[in-house]
Amino acid sequence: MDRLFGTDGVRGLANLEPMTSETAMKLGRAATYIFKNETGRHRLVIGKDTRISGYMLECGLTSGICSMGGDVLLVGPLPTPALAFLTRSLRADAGIVISGSHNPFQDNGIKFFGRDGFKLPDALEKKMEDLILSGEINHLRPTAAEIGKAHRVDDAEGRYIEFVKNSLPKRMKLDGLKVVVDCANGAAYKVTPKVLLELGAEVTVLGNKPDGININDGCGCMHPALLQRTVRELGADVGIAHDGDADRVLFVTSSGEIVDGDRVMGMCALELKRQGQLQGDTVVSTIMSNLGLERALHSSGIKMVRTAVGDRYVLERMVRDGYNFGGEQSGHIIFLDYNTTGDGLITALQVLALMIKTGRPLSALMDFMEVVPQVMINVRVKSRKEPNQVPVVQQEIERIEKKLDNSGRVLVRCSGTEPLVRVMIEGQRQDEIQSMAEELARLIQKQLG
């Protein structure tokens, strides 16, 4: 291995490098060494989603942390944003999440938060990587009473539940709302239904019986068909879908129409601006967000700033420039006034609160923008070479851009979490851009597949 960290932590197929118990132990040791404080004992929180490989990786991390003199606080299956909060709440020196997010169960990942609850900057990840790959970490070994201990935090779930409920206006309840929620058999399978029920909603729950291998399997925001059907059959007001670690959320209207992250960002940004709470009258999103969102926000006096794909890059721009709201089309929405990372449950509560405050259905709230036709195709590849570095691919991209003539966009990029190249084209005619995207995808498959 010449590197460990990708765009969102360390990722891979469980029990193959780098997603092995051996490397997890080294990551635990390196993290403990880096986050060691001046007071002597230091603590790291570990949480996970519901994948069967989480047990193995949790043990490896715990062993590594204790071997470096750190104490471990184990909180069990909880959403990724819960770990960001608990790292701060428990006054820990770092937080670690074991999750493959939206990927199938055989994949897994390890992500780190600093004591401030923010994901680590590239420089710290590089420092951890160097300690491991150089072998330097192997020679740093405390002994005797300096070895650490592990403890289980029994009230972690309750702490997070109260935290997210406090993001709603005081005394606001969800009485009268009929909600279907799909927890993707993932990390939010307990907390999201509990929060909604405690706030008074009538709740039907899907995807809340994890068995270690059914996470994201035909359910959750990656596979919303069951949620759409259930919402329509029950006559529910709204459907809510998480991914495996619940840092993202998508919605379904009463008629079964999907509401993606772009529409969620838009309706929430408009409300924040009305309340005078949108810092800089600016929304931070990525290059993947639809042109229709940018145009709709602009017409309401809101600027949209774009970043590279990845919620960490959205967050970095927000912190750097003093903005408090942003997100991704995929459903990562960051309310920086409430949490330090994308939080699917907090986002769900903000949308439900907007429905309650305005008395309007979700279908009406989302009707603020005209979506520009968009096609996205994932191409599985073997080579990690950037597609625009292949001359014939770059020539085809330029040909399409010339044909679109400023009426659309072409984006081709490597996924940061999977062996995929993502092709996205926007334009005025759905059939035309579909044909363009398919042709470009075939070319990329031929060159890099």
Instruction: State how far the Cα of 206 lies from the Cα of 189, in Å rounded to an integer.
Output: 9
Q: Where are the alpha helices (DSSP H) in 371-419?
A: 391-404
> For residue 338, what is the enclosing H or E element?
none
Q: Which residues pair with 5 in a beta bridge?
A: 10
Instruction: State how far the Cα of 162 lies from the Cα of 139, in Å rounded to an integer.
Output: 43
Q: Which of 200, 193, 197 is nearest to 172 (CA)?
A: 200
The residues near 72 (Cβ < 8 Å, ≥ 6 apart) are 43, 44, 45, 46, 61, 62, 65, 66, 148, 149, 150, 151
> Which one of 53, 63, 99, 101 is the catalytic residue?
101
Instruction: State how far the Cα of 366 lies from the Cα of 24, in Å rounded to an integer.
Output: 43
User: How far is CA 294 from its chain centroid?
Assistant: 22
Instruction: State how far the Cα of 298 lies from the Cα of 286, in Å rounded to an integer.
Output: 16
101 is catalytic: yes
Instruction: State how far the Cα of 198 lies from the Cα of 345, in Å rounded to an integer.
Output: 14
> For residue 300, what is the enclosing H or E element?
none
Instruction: State how far the Cα of 227 lies from the Cα of 81, in Å rounded to an integer.
Output: 23
> For residue 112, what is the enclosing H or E element?
strand 107-114
> For residue 357, what is the enclosing H or E element?
helix 344-358
Q: What residue type is 433 in one-letter code?
A: I
- Tokens 């035909």 -> residue: 218
Quick check: 153 and 73 in contact, CB under 8 A?
yes
State how beta strands 9-13 and 42-48 pair. unpaired
Instruction: State how far the Cα of 383 lies from the Cα of 373, in Å rounded to an integer.
Output: 30
- Tally Cβ neighbours within 10 Å of residue 140: 14
Q: Which residues pair with 130 in a beta bridge?
A: none
The residues near 36 (Cβ < 8 Å, ≥ 6 apart) are 42, 68, 69, 70, 93
Kindly provide the b/e burial profile for residues 223-243, where b requires at least 16 CB atoms within 10 angstroms of the residue's own CB. ebebbbebbbeeebbbbbbbb
User: Catalytic residues, which ones?
Assistant: 101
